[in-house]
């Protein structure tokens, strides 16, 4: 299996970081006027780091990811990839989207991965398909390499998209709530598998999510974003001991982030730790919006 080419993964502390977001502000026009989605956000991601960008819907985290991917221009500030400013989309920042229709319906699972490899890495047909089959197997789609996307379940489509992103071996992987449209059981399993893949390949990741437990499980570092406009509210390092659900460290960190997001701890916050954090968070976010 091909390893990352040297230019894509410099040793830590060697040259500029894989991703540097410098005082980025993102505005867009609507009929009602100018909306500031993200205001003056700065952070860097080091090689091998997995940064989870956590926040409620509408906090601008997906907009920020799209700007990093090159689909949106920054209103001010700069986004740098290994020091070079981002100007357009490119396979050095492979994106896994939330939506299931990110796969090309006219190509099989292996075909989708191989096409990305041909375009992004300039590989030949035979070699790209060989690697594509290998990657399909690594995400548990070995038996479905020749299946067309419309015959796959949502979870399998996301696996294929993840395999496609990893196969290209980008400088950084951008994940835009890739599991948000999956059922709770599939989501848990995919989180574990993604974590295993990341640790195995040492991939650098920017992972956008609105679920605290997901951010803690997948990320090595968590940035909490606050909405209207989107800003960085707090930053947490996630030690390896706090990565596993059900451990005291995990619970403590989850509670801490919850309190940071929802302000002064509400009386329910004590019981909330034992409840599934996701539904709880959803509920509370809606309430605060309505008030």
Is residue 106 near other proteins by the rule CB under 8 A?
Answer: yes
Interactions with other proteins, residue window 71-90 (CB under 8 A): 71, 88-90
Give 103-106's long-range contacts (Cβ < 8 A, gap of 24+): 103/149, 103/157, 103/160, 103/161, 103/164, 104/149, 105/148, 105/149, 105/150, 106/148
The pairing of strands 76-81 and 50-54 is unpaired
Told to check if 178 binds other proteins by CB under 8 A, we report no
Minimum CB distance to other proteins smaller for 69 or for 216 = 69
Task: Please choose, from the candidates 107, 55, 103, the residue with its C-alpha nearest in 3D space to the C-alpha of residue 223.
Answer: 55
Which residue, 149 or 230, has its beta carbon nearer to other proteins? 149
Q: CB under 8 A: which stretch of 74-82, 111-119, 196-204, 225-233 binds other proteins?
A: 111-119
| Least distance in angstroms from the C-beta of 109 to other proteins | 13
Taking the C-alpha atoms of residue 60 and residue 229, their distance in angstroms, rounded to an integer, is 7
- The single residue among 48, 58, 140, 148 that binds other proteins, judged by CB under 8 A, is 148
Query: How many residues bind other proteins, per CB under 8 A?
Result: 29
CB of 45 closer than 8 Å to CB of 199: no
Q: Does 69 bind other proteins (CB under 8 A)?
A: yes
* β-strand pairing of 93-96 with 19-30: unpaired
**Residue 175's beta-bridge partner residues?**
96, 207
Binding site for other proteins (CB under 8 A): 66, 69, 71, 88-91, 93-95, 97, 99, 101-106, 115-116, 119-120, 148-151, 161, 164, 168
């Amino acid at each position: 299996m091909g390893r990352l080419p040297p230019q894509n993964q410099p040793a830590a502390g060697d040259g500029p970081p894989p991703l540097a977001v410098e005082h980025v502000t993102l505005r867009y026009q609507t009929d009602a006027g100018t909306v500031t989605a993200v205001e003056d956000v700065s952070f860097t991601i080091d090689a091998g780091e997995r940064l989870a960008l956590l926040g409620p819907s509408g906090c601008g985290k997906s907009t920020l990811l799209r700007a990093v991917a090159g689909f949106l221009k920054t209103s001010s500030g700069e986004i740098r990839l290994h020091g070079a400013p981002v100007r357009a989309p490119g396979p050095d920042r492979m994106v896994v989207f939330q939506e299931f229709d990110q796969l090309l319906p006219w190509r099989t699972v292996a075909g989708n991965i191989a096409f990305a490899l041909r375009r992004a890495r300039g590989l030949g047909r035979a070699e790209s398909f060989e690697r594509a089959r290998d990657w399909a197997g690594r995400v548990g789609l070995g038996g479905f390499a020749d299946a067309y996307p419309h015959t796959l379940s949502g979870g399998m489509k996301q696996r294929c998209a993840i395999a496609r992103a990893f196969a290209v071996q980008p400088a950084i992987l951008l994940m835009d709530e890739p599991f948000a449209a999956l059922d709770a059981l599939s989501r848990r399993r995919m989180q574990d598998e993604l974590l295993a893949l990341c640790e195995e390949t040492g991939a650098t990741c920017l992972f956008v999510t609105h679920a605290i437990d997901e951010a803690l499980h997948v990320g090595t570092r968590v940035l909490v974003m606050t909405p209207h406009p989107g800003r960085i509210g707090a930053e947490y390092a996630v030690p390896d001991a706090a990565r596993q659900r059900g451990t005291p460290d995990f619970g403590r960190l989850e509670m801490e982030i919850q309190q940071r997001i929802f302000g002064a701890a509400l009386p329910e916050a004590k019981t909330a730790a034992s409840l599934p954090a996701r539904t709880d968070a959803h509920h509370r976010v809606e309430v605060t919006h309505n008030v």
